[in-house]
Structure 1
Amino acid sequence: MRRRDQPEAEREEAVAVAPAAGGVRRFGLLALGHASVGAAALGVVLPLLPTTPFLLLAVWAYGRASPALAERLRRDRRFGPALRRWQERGEVSRGAKRRAFVALAAGAALTGAMVENAFALGAALACMAGAAAFIATRPSSSSDPDPREGAE
């Protein structure tokens, strides 16, 4: 297992030697990875559907089923830097945080306008508040070179 206090070279080595799952488990993880990449692709073009969480899930699933596919996502020109920052340091760019908060606020407003059941509304808003709190407590990256990086 990789740790944040490991030197980068050791972390990369740990990723390279991670054994891939086999059989049915590997098939399920690959299916999850492919579905997550598909959902992320939809998130690029659909408002309010996040992209990055699906890519993080895909990297996790691919990392256990096919390390080569996980590495391909980590090296992607557009999304790779955000994925690597998250995996290496647990960082989220300031721009990604802003977009996440805007999406959560819009989702909360739509939910408030559409959901009549008070319990369901409260549960949905509590989940969104939890997600916002989680995002707010993640460290921000020291630089945010590409404003579209980690599109939400």
Structure 2
Amino acid sequence: MVVQRLFLNFIGGLSLCLGFLGIFLPVLPTTPFVLLASACFMRSSPSFHRWLNQHPTFGPIISNWHQHRAVTRKVKLRGVLAMVLSFSFSIYIVSHNWLKIMLIVMLVILLSWFIRLPVIEHLADQEENH
């Protein structure tokens, strides 16, 4: 049980660090890493889980996902851009055609799932009703 908690804390911390880097690096997606960190901390550290959910940057990402299974338009746009850029680079550097085809198929599957995610915007980000 202690080993499991340590492992989940380690994975949660690593995911949170990668999510933080994703804020600044366009090819590293923030949302999946923050959600993974939240799931790990939920099972291993209630105090970290509470802190993460109340964080001004990461909290809304987690709330949108848990309440609506949705992401903001900005997150979706950054995610699509990151996927296309990173897969394009991988396809470019791979020398075997069968690997290129496999990467293209993976990209199409991943994009088709990601693009279908519902979009939700914060009420504070929207104009008031006319």
TM-score, normalised to structure 2's length?
A: 0.85
Which residue of 2 is the match for residue 27 of structure 1?
A: 6
Indicate conservation of the 8 Å contact 2:5/2:44, yes or no: yes
1:114 equivalenced with 2:75 (yes/no): no
Asked whether the 8 Å contact 1:94–1:144 carries over to 2, the reply is no
Q: What CA RMSD, in Å, does the superposition of the two structures yield over aligned residues?
A: 1.8
> For structure 1, which runs of at least 5 residues remain unmatched after alignment?
1-21, 147-152
Counterparts of 2:25 and 2:121 in 1: how far apart (Å)? 28
Q: Does 1:94 align with 2:73?
A: yes
Deviates more, 1:25-34 or 1:104-113: 104-113
Q: 2:18 aligns with which of 36, 39, 51?
A: 39
CA contact (8 A) 1:85 1:92 kept: yes
- In the alignment of these two chains, the number of paired residues is 125
1:84 maps to which of 30, 43, 63: 63
Alpha-carbon distance between aligned partners in 2 of 1:137 and 1:47, rounded to the nearest angstrom: 21
User: What is the deviation of 1:39?
Assistant: 1.3
Given that 2:26 and 2:78 are in contact with CA atoms closer than 8 Å, whether structure 1 keeps it comes out as no
> What secondary structure, in the 3-state scheme, does the structure 2 residue paired with 1:54 have?
helix
Separation in structure 2 between the aligned mates of residue 142 and residue 31 of structure 1, nearest angstrom = 32
Residue by residue over 1:2-55, the C-alpha shift from the partner in whole angstroms, topping out at 9 and shown as x without a partner, is xxxxxxxxxxxxxxxxxxxx3111111111101111211222222301111111
Higher mean C-alpha displacement, 132-141 vs 121-130: 121-130
Q: Is the 8 A contact 2:29 2:78 kept in 1?
A: no
Q: Which has the higher contact order (CA 8 A, sep 6+)?
A: 1
Runs of 4+ in 1 over 3 A off after TM superposition: 142-146
CA 63–129 in structure 1, closer or farther in 2 if over 3 Å, else same: same
CA-to-partner distance for each residue in 1:52-106, whole Å, 9 max, x for gaps?
Answer: 1111100000000012211211111112111111012101111111111111221
- Comparing 34-43 with 124-133, greater Cα deviation is found at 124-133
Distance change (3 Å), C-alpha of 1:145 and 1:126 = farther
Task: Report the alpha carbon displacement of residue 142 of structure 1 after superposing the two structures with TM.
Answer: 4.3
TM-superposed deviation, 1:110: 1.4
Q: Distance in 2 between matches of 1:132 and 1:144?
A: 27
The corresponding residue for 1:104 is 83
Deviates more, 1:34-43 or 1:135-144: 135-144
